[in-house]
Amino acid sequence: MNNHPPEKQNDNRYNIRVLDRAFRILSLLSDGKARTLQELSEGIELSTSTTFRLLSTLSFYRYVQRNEQNGQYSLGLACLELSQAYYESNDLRRVALPELETLRDEVKETVHLAVLDQMEVVYLEKLPGLHAIGLMGSRVGGRAPSYCTGVGKVLLAYLRPELVRDYYAARGLPYFTPTTITTLEGLAAELDIIRRKGYALDRGEHEDEVRCVATPIFNLRGEVTAALSISGPAGRMEPLDENCEMVQQAVQTAGTISMKLGYNPAAKTSIR
């Protein structure tokens, strides 16, 4: 994962070096995997002595913690406290949550709320379905590729096409499953369909057995600010193209959330 926001990589005039390095450590640990001093040192491309000093300070303030048995470092309790404060102050999540809960209770499948950050999906909320689903990799605070997830494709569809094209022309479209879109032409065609229909379908493009219906959430300015999805196993969700009732439920819920955020359905949708 890239530990530097793409738009900031070439503009570090105001960066404070020690803070930059500390945040790189936290970004590296944000995937939930504990790491040794050596692994962190290699990951942020600093000497072990410099990395150790940074970790000592982060440990003092409880942003990282060290397992005394194996010497590995992971995120500390202060990160959880920050996360909780973020969720409690996040207007989007607060407004959306009651509607997401109602939707989950109606469809009985897993419901997500996600935003786009650095061209990746970040999950703000995940409400597990009332049926067993087996393994699903999404988690609150977790990231996923945008081009092969339902919520991600919805969020990409309302960006300027040249922005999407340039980004993936430089980075490629890695293969995950037999249905993953792996060409720029295929992705552009898919995003055009999503804009015209107003929703996206994920046919196991990131996780082979998971199917998804996703819809955009608009803000006061008519911009797509988030996306919601209904996700479940292929056996219950298929055939996606004929699951009109579930699509309609997702669209209606996203519309209700959008209007609560101040969106006027009669206004022109903005492409960012």
Question: Considering only 148-162, 206-220, 239-253, which range has the smallest mean pLDDT?
Answer: 239-253
99 lies in the same domain as 160: yes
Sign of the torsion formed by the C-alpha atoms of 206, 74, 21 and 61: positive
271, part of any domain: no
57 lies in the same domain as 152: no
| pLDDT tens digits, one per residue of 72-116 | 999 998 887 787 776 555 578 888 999 999 999 999 999 999 999
| pLDDT tens digits, one per residue of 160-213 | 999 999 999 999 999 999 999 999 999 999 999 999 999 999 999 999 999 999
153 lies in the same domain as 226: yes
Residue 48: CATH number of its domain: 1.10.10.10
- Domain closes at, from 82, 105, 138: 82
Asked whether residue 11 carries a pLDDT value surpassing 60, the answer given is no
Residue 127: domain span: 90-260
154 lies in the same domain as 214: yes
Per DSSP bridges, beta strands 110-117 and 224-233 are: antiparallel
- Domain closes at, from 82, 105, 133: 82
Distance separating alpha carbons of residues 215 and 107, to the nearest angstrom: 15
167 lies in the same domain as 47: no
116 lies in the same domain as 246: yes
268, part of any domain: no
157, part of any domain: yes
pTM assigned to the model: 0.71
pLDDT bin (cut points 50, 70, 90) of residue 135 is: low
265, part of any domain: no
| pLDDT tens digits, one per residue of 221-243 | 899 999 999 999 988 888 887 78
158 lies in the same domain as 233: yes
267, part of any domain: no
Distance separating alpha carbons of residues 44 and 214, to the nearest angstrom: 35
How many domains, in total, are found in the chain? Answer: 2
Instruction: Return the pLDDT at 240.
Output: 82
105 lies in the same domain as 235: yes
Residue 203: CATH number of its domain: 3.30.450.40
110, part of any domain: yes
64 lies in the same domain as 104: no
Q: If 0-12 CB within 10 Å is exposed, 13-18 middle and 19+ buried, where does residue 107 land?
A: buried
272, part of any domain: no
